[in-house]
């Protein structure tokens, strides 16, 4: 249990949010750079510039070396940075936090990385005076990349804690969290199934991957290729997802889709062995099943709480729109320029709309089949009722307890006395009812009979005669 004051704990949490993920990334990058320089028997000249460039590269900032731009940055470090920011902001935000606290948490999550980005730009600019091949990146592009990555993580982390409460207080519809959950399920299903397809394709093209590993004979070189393959694996998965929904991916002049493949030069990266090779077989057309299965996942999540037709259609539409926006953003950050190979990425013109159409069409059909549409009961007009019969005169009934109390309260006032006529009526005393004849008491046969000494209360008036007779 933390016994420190509340102000101290809040300051510690804000510092962790501001610098925690960025400092961890700096430590990991510094360890990798120093290990590379140590293995290569190189001096430490320009080590700080390389560390700063790689830290900015984690935030999708292109790196310029010798006039060649490396714009295709690995997607795995970016996802890890977003996850780390979301985790730290979620831990610093309580479910009942006010908007003032939420704003401070988000501001801390953005302020710390922007400060480190400014320092990194200064370090790169200083190192470029020693290493002429290293160029300082565009400051606006650097700050925009850092801001976008950490803003996405902060919104995800804060949203998991106070998102539902803020939505309930806003005029937005109540089914919006369900639509967001459905969009997340569709995106995860599409990426997961695309990853399975990529792994199967790498196994099928194992000989190609072995040739790509053969470009180096050293163990350290093969280890470096393996690390690069793991870092760039999410980029390949996003490209496979684009092919699965009917769009296309390209590496320079080489273009890949479910219907055609145009050959071209590709980088010697083992993970790129998963790309299809011409001539294209019919098996790749079956990859469209991945898009349909992901759309079914969206529809199943939307059908968990049935709604009327209009609201159910709106929920599916919003879920498909959010999923298409997320996939288009992933397609954008996973591509870029790759030196002499040219542009690498997915076809942005068709990728987002294809995801939207798949999730809307198949997802809407799934909602209709899974009972996600609530049927409104038919309202039948009742026949006109006949004129009511006159009510009979009220019969004296036993009043309810409330009525009795009310009558009692009303009769607390003095009752009205009725004046009699001048002649008072004669009072006639009612005649008493005749008493039934009493049977004589039996005379006991023996003097010692104990019952002779007992007598009834009603015979008390004749008790003396009975005793004389008994004697």
pLDDT digits (tens, 9 = 90+) for 392-413: 554 445 544 444 444 444 444 4
Q: Could you tell me what percent of the chain has a pLDDT over 90? A: 31
The pLDDT confidence band at residue 64, using thresholds 50, 70 and 90, is: confident
The pLDDT confidence band at residue 86, using thresholds 50, 70 and 90, is: very high
pTM of the predicted structure, to 2 decimals = 0.75
The angle, 0 to 180 degrees and rounded to 10, between the axes of the packed helices 139-169 and 75-92 is: 40
> Between β-strands 261-262 and 336-337, what pairing exists: parallel, antiparallel or unpaired?
unpaired
The angle, 0 to 180 degrees and rounded to 10, between the axes of the packed helices 288-302 and 233-244 is: 90
Q: How far apart (Å, rounded) are the C-alpha atoms in residues 327 and 358? A: 13
* 3-state SS class at 137: coil
Q: What is the pLDDT of residue 112?
A: 92
Q: What is the pLDDT of residue 128?
A: 79
pLDDT digits (tens, 9 = 90+) for 242-257: 999 989 898 888 888 8
Q: Which residues of 331-344 are buried (b: 16+ CB within 10 A; e: fewer)?
A: bbbbbbbbbebeeb
The pLDDT confidence band at residue 470, using thresholds 50, 70 and 90, is: very low
Over residues 107-112, mean pLDDT: 92
Q: Are 305 and 178 in contact (CB under 8 A)?
A: yes
pLDDT digits (tens, 9 = 90+) for 329-357: 999 998 888 877 888 889 889 999 999 99
3-state helix, strand, coil in the chain (%, to 5): 60, 5, 35
């Amino acid at each position: 249990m933390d016994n420190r004051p509340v102000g101290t704990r809040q300051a510690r949490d804000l510092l962790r949010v501001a610098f925690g993920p960025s400092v961890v990334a700096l430590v990991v990058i510094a360890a990798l750079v120093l290990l590379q320089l140590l293995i290569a028997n190189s001096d430490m000249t320009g080590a700080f510039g390389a560390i700063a460039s790689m830290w900015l590269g984690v935030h999708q900032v292109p790196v310029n070396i010798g006039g060649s731009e490396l714009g295709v940055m690995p997607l795995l470090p970016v996802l890890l940075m977003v996850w780390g920011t979301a985790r730290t902001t979620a831990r610093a935000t309580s479910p009942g936090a006010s908007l003032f606290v939420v704003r401070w948490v988000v501001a801390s999550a953005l302020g710390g990385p922007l400060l480190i980005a400014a320092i990194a730009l200064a370090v790169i600019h200083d190192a470029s005076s020693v290493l002429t091949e290293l160029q300082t990146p565009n400051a606006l592009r650097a700050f925009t990349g850092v801001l976008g990555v950490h803003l996405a993580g902060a919104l995800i982390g804060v949203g998991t804690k106070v998102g539902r409460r803020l939505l309930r207080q806003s005029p937005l519809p109540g089914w919006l969290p369900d639509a967001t959950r459905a969009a997340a399920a569709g995106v995860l299903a599409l990426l997961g199934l695309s990853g399975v397809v990529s792994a199967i394709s790498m196994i099928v093209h194992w000989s190609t991957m072995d040739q790509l590993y053969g470009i180096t004979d050293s163990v350290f070189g093969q280890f470096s290729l393996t690390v690069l393959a793991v870092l760039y694996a999410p980029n390949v998965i996003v490209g496979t997802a684009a092919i699965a929904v009917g769009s296309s991916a390209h590496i320079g002049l080489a273009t890949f889709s479910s219907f055609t493949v145009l050959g071209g030069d590709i980088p010697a990266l083992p993970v790129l062995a998963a790309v299809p090779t011409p001539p294209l077989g019919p098996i790749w057309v079956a990859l469209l099943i991945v898009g349909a299965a992901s759309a079914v996942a969206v529809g199943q999540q939307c059908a968990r709480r049935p709604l009327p037709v209009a609201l159910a259609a709106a929920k599916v539409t919003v879920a498909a729109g959010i999923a298409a926006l997320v996939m288009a953003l992933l397609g954008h950050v996973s591509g870029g320029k790759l030196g002499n190979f040219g542009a690498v990425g997915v076809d942005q013109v068709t990728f987002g709309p294809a995801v939207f159409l798949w999730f809307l069409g198949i997802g809407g059909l799934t909602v209709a089949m899974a009972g996600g549409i609530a049927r409104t009961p038919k309202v039948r007009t009742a026949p006109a009722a006949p004129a009511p019969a006159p009510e009979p005169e009220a019969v004296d009934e036993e009043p309810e307890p409330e009525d009795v109390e009310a009558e009692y309260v009303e009769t607390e006032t003095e009752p009205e006395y009725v004046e009699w006529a001048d002649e008072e009526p004669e009072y006639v005393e009612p005649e008493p009812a005749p008493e039934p004849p009493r049977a004589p008491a039996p005379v006991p046969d023996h003097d010692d009979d104990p019952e002779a000494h007992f007598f009834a209360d009603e015979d008390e008036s004749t008790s003396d005669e009975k005793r004389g007779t008994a004697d």
